[in-house]
Chain A
Amino acid sequence: MTWMRQHLMPVLTVVAAIIALWYAGAVALNAPWAYDQAKRADRDLSFSALVAETWSQDKPKLPAPHQVVAEIWKTSGDMVLRGKAFSKRSLVFHGWITLSATMLGFILGTGFGILLAIGIVHNRAMDMSVMPWVIASQTIPILAIAPMVVVVMNSIGFAGLVPKSIISMYLSFFPVVVGMTKGLRSPDAMEMDQMRTWNAGAWKTLISLRLPSSMPYLFTSLKVAIAASLVGAIVGELPINQDGGLGARMLVGSYYGQTIQIWSALLTAAALAACLVGLVGLVQGITLRRMGMAR
């Protein structure tokens, strides 16, 4: 009971407030069209009729929550029940496309980030030279040039998963490098001295002290990285929409003014991000507890 009061209630309150605002916004934004239609049909619009009208348009400026939820159900759960989960119109299909690019990019980015961090910690030249480039790499507006990267890679024969994963990796390796560099350096002077008294080399120190000590830092970075990976995958999907994916779904929706479709893809992407971050958090909790490092 106390758990519900302390954790569930605040969240639900905020969610309720957002939904209320959303409905109000839908009325405000969709009202001009409704008034316009009423004027053309030469009929009066009572307030209750106006509200009902603004919450049920086909191509509203801002779809109401229930419209989005209905659309999501129609293109996911309902299609799964009818055995058409991987139809081209299904959000499960598009979500899977995006998820696979996200995961590949996340794994590549994490691996690359950890390797870079190990190099930076062990090699003074790399420490001095690589870190500035890593930071510089993130000043490039990758979100703006990602479509170009994807198109160029497509033209030289890299299509489908790989180009999207590369954008995804580019966005996700940065938090891992920064977090792991700090994590690998987190053992204190005494712990490092202790390794020295055992005449332990760099490799043994890395394996038995630096890597285990860096785990809390790694997981914190991974939470940021996996969300960034998803953003990277979605951006990578924008220019080439015949492959599908949540990004393609949003872009196609915007071509045809299918606002409900855009919002349902958007909410699915947000839910996917929340699930991925939650999953990393779960693994973090289990790992750190088992390592006796839970805080």
Chain B
Amino acid sequence: MSDAVIKAEALSLTFQTNDGPVHALKDINLEIGKGEFVSFIGPSGCGKTTFLRCVAALETPTAGSLTVNGLSPDDARRARAYGYVFQAAGLYPWRTIGGNIRLPLEIMGYSRAEQAARVKQVLDLVDLAGFEKKFPWQLSGGMQQRASIARALAFDADILLMDEPFGALDEIVRDHLNEQLLALWAKTEKTIGFVTHSIPEAVYLSTRIVVMSPRPGRIADIITSTLPRERPLDIRDTPEFLAIAHRVREGLRAGHAYDD
């Protein structure tokens, strides 16, 4: 792929702890192309979140190279190349939903008119039109997370990094949000990096699935999805879907993800 948006070569990250070095990431080679939806799956400690944080320049790799939009991750962060969605919605209780979405725009110095237009646009995008003046506590957990996604979409970042964004939600809400996220991805054509620990979620959403394994954190398998881009929820009962899910599970097993 020549138009790689995210490109990691021999990327390693070792934390020095009192119990000796911890290899959070070891020899990661990965290219993510424009408009891809790549999921990272694996047991805790496999480095999936760490990799995403490296891309976001929230962690600094200790070896290898990593570029984002052809820049170093920190330059890409300064250029506001990505929106990051955390596991918790992280909405400020003292700001309305609209105010929360406006916050990064205020920080980035958009004009007031531009802020208002963008807030309205992204609220429509995540189906929260009419909730602009509500406060976070007036919304359900799923709606809060949608507001948090809207906030990450509000500025012109063409990369969306999502760290277990639906991990704290129940399965019914999660299904609904997965469906909406796919629609959103189709509409916005963003490049998405998505960390999850749910096999169905990874298979349902992704164009590629990166299966990772722990100690040291490394890539066990990369699976290219054969599913069409149009994915109704019941695609998850098709043999094709189950076959991919099976391969993910095999990858996890090969990486000793099921060992204690």
Min Cβ gap B102→A in Å is 10
- Docked Cα-Cα span, A290 to B96, in Å, equals 11
Cβ B94 vs Cβ A196 within 8 A: no
Chain B residues near A208 (CB-CB < 8 A)? 92, 103, 106-107
* A–B pairs, 13, beta carbons within 8 Å: A190-B88, A191-B90, A193-B84, A194-B84, A197-B77, A197-B83, A197-B84, A198-B108, A199-B77, A199-B80, A212-B94, A292-B93, A292-B136
CB under 8 Å from chain A, chain B span 225-247: none
| Chain B, residue nearest A196 (CB) | B58
Residues of A within 8 A of B82 (CB): 197
Bitwise interface map of A from 251 to 295 toward B, beta carbon under 8 Å scored 1, else 0: 000000000000000000000000000000000000000111100
Is B15 in the interface zone, CB < 8 Å from A? no
Considering the chains assembled together, what is the distance between the CA atoms of A188 and B84 in angstroms? 16
- Looking at chain A's contact residues, the main secondary structure is helix
The answer to whether B94 touches A292 (Cβ under 8 A) is yes
Residues of chain B at interface, number, CB under 8 A: 24
Q: Does B257 contact A (CB under 8 A)?
A: no
State whether B137 touches A292 (Cβ < 8 A).
yes
Q: For the complex, is B86 an interface residue (Cβ under 8 Å from A)?
A: yes
Whether, in the assembled complex, B200 has its beta carbon less than 8 Å from a beta carbon of chain A, the answer is no
User: Residue B131 at the A interface, CB < 8 A?
Assistant: no
* Cα A39 to Cα B77 with chains together (Å): 93
Contact, CB under 8 Å: A293 / B93: yes
How many angstroms from the CA of A293 to the CA of B94 in the assembled complex? Answer: 7
With both beta carbons as reference points, the residue of chain A lying nearest to B79 in the complex is identified as A199
* Residue pair A204, B107 in contact (C-beta under 8 Å): yes
Residues of chain B lying within 8 A (CB to CB) of residue A11: none
Q: Give CA–CA (A199, B77) in the complex, Å.
A: 7
Shortest distance between the CB of A284 and any CB in chain B (Å):
14
Nearest CB in chain B to that of A198: its residue: B104
**Is B135 on the interface with A (CB-CB < 8 A)?**
yes
Of the candidates A191, A200, A208, A291, the one having the most CB atoms from chain B within 10 angstroms of its own CB is A208
Complex contact A200–B107 (CB within 8 A): yes
Q: How many A residues have CB within 8 A of the partner chain?
A: 18
Given A199-B77, A199-B78, A208-B103, residue A194 in contact with residue B90 (CB < 8 A): yes
Contact B107 A194 (CB under 8 A): no
CA distance A187 to B104 in the complex (A): 17
The verdict on B248 contacting chain A, using a C-beta distance below 8 Å, is: no
Set B58, B80, B88, B137: member contacting A198, Cβ < 8 A? B80
Q: Is the CB of A194 within 8 A of B135?
A: no
User: How far, in Å, is A145 (CB) from chain B's closest CB?
Assistant: 42
List residues of B whose CB falls within 8 A of some A CB: 56-58, 77-78, 80, 82-84, 86-88, 90, 92-94, 103-104, 106-108, 135-137
Q: How far is the CB of B179 from chain A (nearest CB, A)?
A: 26
Residues in chain A near residue B83, CB distance under 8 A: 197
Q: Within the assembled complex, what's the spacing in Å between the Cα atoms of A212 and B94? A: 8
Smallest Cβ-Cβ distance to A205: which chain B residue? B107
Q: Are B56 and A197 in contact (CB under 8 A)?
A: yes
1/0 contact string of A180-213 vs chain B (CB within 8 Å) = 0000000000110111111110001000110010
Instruction: Write out the residue numbers on chain A whose beta carbons fall within 8 Å of the beta carbon of B94.
Output: 212, 290-293
Interchain CB contact under 8 A, A196 and B136: no
Beyond the given pairs A191-B90, A197-B58, 9 more chain A to chain B contacts, judged by CB atoms under 8 angstroms and listed by A's residue number, are A190-B87, A194-B84, A196-B58, A196-B77, A199-B80, A199-B107, A208-B107, A292-B137, A293-B94
Q: How far is the CB of A215 from chain B (nearest CB, A)?
A: 8
CB distance from B194 to the nearest CB of A (A): 16
Given A196-B58, A292-B135, A292-B137, answer yes or no on A212-B80 (Cβ-Cβ < 8 Å): no
List residues of chain B with CB within 8 A of the CB of A209. Answer: 92
Distance in Å from the Cβ of A76 to the closest Cβ of chain B? 41
Given contacts A208-B103, A292-B137, A293-B93, contact A194 B86 (CB under 8 A): yes
Give the CA-CA distance A104 to B80 in the complex, in Å.
Answer: 45
Bound Cα distance A291, B77 (Å):
30
